[in-house]
Amino acid sequence: MLSEVLGNTYKLWQEIQKHLRSEYGDLVEEWKYYGQKSGWLKKTLKKKRNLFFFTPFKNYFRITFVFGARAVAEVEKSDLPESIKETLKNARKYAEGRGLSIEVKFPEDVQNIIKLVAIKVNN
């Protein structure tokens, strides 16, 4: 069912999952329904730590992170695109940190997600 919804981007999701399993071992994934407005989201955790939320859409998906201050500083120092850095820098600050959502539609988006997950895991 997920492959039907994601269309051609399903292979991008599989690529991300394959990398995460090889790099970080078994991760916990929980599907939750957050209501009509948000719909279904898959929360991915390493042990008990939330890494990101996965939201499927027709022919693409979104990955949403919440970064604490140390992780935000690492993103700013990274070689990630300036647009990602600016979005995170301008994101509203909550007690948990700053939120960042990336729509994954193209193969080049995969490397950005992989880098962001590494920053999240290490900070």
Q: Domain map of the chain by residue range?
A: 2-122
99 and 65 Cβ atoms separated by less than 8 Å: yes
* Model confidence pLDDT, tens digit, residues 85-122: 999 999 999 999 999 999 999 999 999 999 999 999 99
- How high does pLDDT run on average in the chain? 95
Q: pTM of the entire structure?
A: 0.94
Where does 2-122 sit in CATH, by number? 3.90.1150
Cα–Cα distance between 29 and 2 in angstroms, integer? 15
Mean pLDDT of 25-42: 90
Identify how many contiguous H helices and E strands the chain contains and give both numbers.
5, 6
* pLDDT band of 36, cuts 50, 70, 90: confident
* Residue 75 to residues 11, 82, 98, Cα–Cα distance (Å): 26, 10, 12
